């Protein structure tokens, strides 16, 4: 077992902020950062200038909204929140937390019936929503068992729905008239504050119950380990804890300006315009930026020059000379010119990709989190990173490996103040993952090194157990195959050969059409067969791929952009 408290005395902890609940965080940030910009955004994507909101202005709006929420009966109620990332979403989330409501953030991309199922299971009496979700809300409205109040962020078309701005105006009127209910209510940081329904990749998600202490402590303890400043850009789904906790809570508490993106299609233009210092992304976004760099270089005929510059940069840095801003000025300017760091989590990230970004002057801090832990568990540090590791646990947390094998690998178990209260209305499922000592069993397979850094081998549910008793981690093989030029996506799983009646390892590949065409490959399956044979030659016999499938369409993903493995057709032709 590893306790961070006793390690890394030579690398001081960074400054953090202490707060017990979201209301206190909003108040403290207004006192500390005043007229500094807290949030910025564009009213429409075509606007040349962004709207800038100070910490004081945001505090006043959240307080007015919270006061209006109390009059509307939101206090102690279960309240759904659905829509794209926006200033209204952020204020509503903070406001609900500040008045003691239980927020139920819902993915706007879910089918209407799935939204209905979540709202009924969570017994939501109110819903705050964006107009992009109104059609789905209208479709299920008459079938909702508990929901009576519908509040739209924009101008609603649905009959009987009210407008957020009216609630804010009413709350401001009440507060200015002496209503102090927003502040008088004593919040219990240990009580359930939100129910986050996971969009799992292996089946139906559960409702993760988190308290305000879970969320606030995750950021207080996590921010000791890494440093952020300046400006960031919010591009993640707001209902997902990676975005709502790390960007909307951690960054807000530290005085970092959060620019809320108008959407992924506008990302590159907004990077140039907004010039963020760092980003919080999932691997898919990082891979997209990486591909764009090389596509641009290829089209301009500068790909070979870029490869040479990378070698020169690495050589110079070994002798203490950093020329990255000059060597890669064109690349960095495409990201605004100020981007120095990307915090990445949510899935495995290719180490070669991390190395290339660092060679160009953008540090990637690979991290590890899970919704049940609010979500941050570990992260690499600004000036201390290890290849292949997802970092060191957040300050004050404990990690152990359950039943390690001869290689020290086993299930990663975690204990800390950010571990969830449990799964909503699922006590048996809760008992199955939180043991009697308070350790949460993550379902991830991995190991710790001598300094307590975490290395993830694979997902427990994905492990292939062969007839001879050998365990195969598909992620290990997928990592190798993803390095093959022309591979866009790959999933490895166990399939059964109909002819030989034996279990074999299958690699299902979705090709990168542009790369395949550029290389002049006409027989795609033959090409990948040859490349995977090279990988097989490096692998133990029981880990070799026995069958290759080529997909015509990309894999189905959840809204966190993770491939949903459970619905893949594993039959072999």
CB of 258 within 8 A of CB of 248?
yes
- The pLDDT-based confidence of 499 (bands split at 50, 70, 90) is low
pLDDT > 90: what percent of the chain? Answer: 74
Mean of all residue pLDDT scores within the chain:
91
Look at residue 6 in the predicted model and tell me its pLDDT.
45
Is residue 116's pLDDT more than 90? Answer: yes
Q: What is the mean predicted confidence (pLDDT) over 292-305? A: 91
Determine how many CB atoms are found less than 10 A away from the CB of residue 163.
14
- Per-range mean pLDDT, top range of 129-133, 283-287, 485-489: 129-133
Looking at per-residue pLDDT, the higher value among 346 and 224 belongs to 224
Is residue 501's pLDDT more than 80? Answer: no
Question: In the structure encoding, which two tokens stand for residue 15, read together?
Answer: 């400054």
Parallel, antiparallel or unpaired: strands 231-234 and 376-379 = unpaired
- Per-range mean pLDDT, top range of 251-260, 287-296, 479-488: 251-260
| Contacts (Cβ under 8 Å, ≥6 apart) of 475 | 348, 456, 457, 458, 459, 462, 492
Question: In the structure encoding, which two tokens stand for residue 178, read together?
Answer: 């002496």
Look at residue 564 in the predicted model and tell me its pLDDT.
78
Q: What is the mean predicted confidence (pLDDT) over 180-198? A: 96
CA distance 369 to 109: 22
The hierarchical CATH code for the domain 278-460 is 3.40.50.12780
Determine how many CB atoms are found less than 10 A away from the CB of residue 405.
11
Q: What is the mean predicted confidence (pLDDT) over 389-394? A: 95
Look at residue 255 in the predicted model and tell me its pLDDT.
97
CA within 13 Å, CB half, 570: 15
Is residue 572's pLDDT more than 80? Answer: no
Q: Which residue has the tokens 């359930």?
A: 192
User: Where does 114-189 show beta strands of DSSP type E?
Assistant: 126-129, 149-152, 162-163
Look at residue 202 in the predicted model and tell me its pLDDT.
38
Digit-coded pLDDT (tens) for 197-215: 985 433 457 899 999 999 9
- The pLDDT-based confidence of 3 (bands split at 50, 70, 90) is very low
- The pLDDT-based confidence of 483 (bands split at 50, 70, 90) is confident
Q: What is the mean predicted confidence (pLDDT) over 282-304? A: 89
Is residue 104's pLDDT more than 90? Answer: yes
Is residue 5's pLDDT more than 50? Answer: no
Among 120-129, 269-278, 279-288, 416-425, which is the least confidently predicted range? 279-288
Question: In the structure encoding, which two tokens stand for residue 479, read together?
Answer: 């990592």
Is residue 234's pLDDT more than 70? Answer: yes
Closest C-alpha among 78, 97, 79 to residue 26:
97
Q: What is the mean predicted confidence (pLDDT) over 98-121? A: 94
What are the domain boundaries of the chain?
21-188+229-274, 278-460, 463-567
Omega prior to 370 cis, within 30 of 0: no
CB of 370 within 8 A of CB of 399?
no
Digit-coded pLDDT (tens) for 521-556: 999 999 999 999 999 988 878 888 989 999 999 988
Look at residue 494 in the predicted model and tell me its pLDDT.
84
The hierarchical CATH code for the domain 463-567 is 3.30.300.30
Q: What is the mean predicted confidence (pLDDT) over 456-464? A: 79
CATH class of 21-188+229-274: alpha beta
Instruction: Tell me if 278-460 shares its fold with 463-567.
Output: no
Is residue 560's pLDDT more than 80? Answer: no
Digit-coded pLDDT (tens) for 166-175: 999 999 999 9
Look at residue 221 in the predicted model and tell me its pLDDT.
95
Digit-coded pLDDT (tens) for 25-69: 999 999 999 999 999 999 999 999 999 999 999 999 999 999 999
């Amino acid at each position: 077992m590893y306790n961070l408290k006793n390690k890394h005395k030579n690398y001081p902890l960074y400054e953090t902020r202490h707060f017990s609940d979201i209301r206190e965080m909003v108040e403290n940030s207004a006192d500390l950062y005043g007229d500094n910009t807290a949030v910025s955004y564009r009213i429409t994507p075509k606007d040349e200038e962004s709207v800038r909101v100070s910490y004081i202005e945001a505090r006043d709006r959240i307080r007015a909204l919270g006061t209006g929420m109390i009059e509307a009966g939101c206090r102690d109620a279960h309240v759904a929140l659905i829509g794209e990332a926006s200033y209204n979403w952020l204020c509503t989330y903070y406001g609900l937390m500040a008045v003691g409501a239980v927020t139920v953030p819902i993915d706007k991309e879910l089918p209407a019936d799935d939204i209905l199922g979540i709202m009924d299971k969570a017994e939501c009496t109110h819903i705050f929503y964006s107009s992009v979700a109104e059609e789905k809300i209208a479709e299920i409205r008459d079938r909702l068992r508990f929901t009576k109040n519908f509040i739209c962020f924009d101008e609603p078309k649905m009959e009987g729905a009210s407008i957020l701005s009216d609630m804010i105006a009413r709350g401001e009127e009440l507060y200015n008239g002496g209503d102090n209910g927003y502040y008088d209510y004593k919040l219990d940081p240990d009580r359930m504050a939100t129910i986050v329904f996971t969009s799992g990749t292996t089946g139906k998600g559960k409702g993760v119950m988190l308290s305000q202490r879970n969320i606030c402590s995750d950021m207080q303890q996590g921010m000791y380990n890494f440093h952020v400043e300046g400006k960031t850009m919010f591009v993640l789904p707001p209902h997902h804890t990676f975005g709502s906790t790390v960007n909307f809570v951690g960054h807000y508490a530290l005085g970092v300006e959060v620019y809320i993106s108008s959407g992924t299609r506008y990302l590159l233009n907004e990077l140039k315009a907004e010039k963020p210092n760092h980003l919080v992304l999932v691997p898919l976004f990082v891979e997209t930026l990486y591909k764009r760099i090389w596509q641009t270089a290829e089209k301009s005929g500068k790909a070979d020059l870029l490869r040479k510059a990378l070698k020169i940069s690495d050589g110079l840095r070994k002798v203490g000379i950093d020329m990255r801003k000059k060597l890669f000025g064109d690349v960095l300017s495409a990201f605004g010119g100020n981007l120095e760091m990307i915090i990445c989590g949510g899935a495995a990230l290719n180490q070669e990709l991390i190395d290339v970004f660092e060679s160009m002057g953008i540090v990637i801090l690979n991290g590890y989190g899970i919704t049940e832990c609010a979500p941050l568990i570990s992260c690499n540090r600004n000036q201390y990173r290890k290849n292949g590791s997802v970092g060191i646990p957040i300050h004050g947390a404990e990690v152990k490996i359950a039943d390690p094998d001869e290689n020290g690998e086993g299930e990663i178990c975690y204990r800390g103040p950010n571990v969830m209260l449990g799964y909503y209305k699922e006590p048996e499922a809760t008992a199955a993952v939180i043991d009697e000592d308070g350790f949460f069993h993550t379902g991830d397979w991995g190991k710790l090194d001598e300094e307590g850094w975490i290395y993830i081998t694979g997902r427990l549910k994905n492990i292939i157990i062969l007839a001879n008793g050998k365990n195969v981690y598909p992620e290990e093989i997928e990592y190798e195959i993803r390095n093959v030029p022309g591979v866009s996506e790959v999933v490895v799983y166990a399939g059964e050969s109909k002819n030989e009646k034996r279990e074999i390892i299958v690699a299902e590949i979705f090709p990168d059409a542009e790369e395949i065409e550029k290389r002049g490959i006409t027989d795609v399956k033959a090409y990948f067969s040859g490349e995977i044979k090279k990988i097989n030659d490096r692998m133990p016999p029981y880990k070799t791929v026995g069958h290759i499938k080529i997909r015509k369409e990309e894999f189905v993903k959840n809204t966190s952009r993770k491939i949903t493995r459970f619905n893949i057709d594993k039959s072999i032709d």
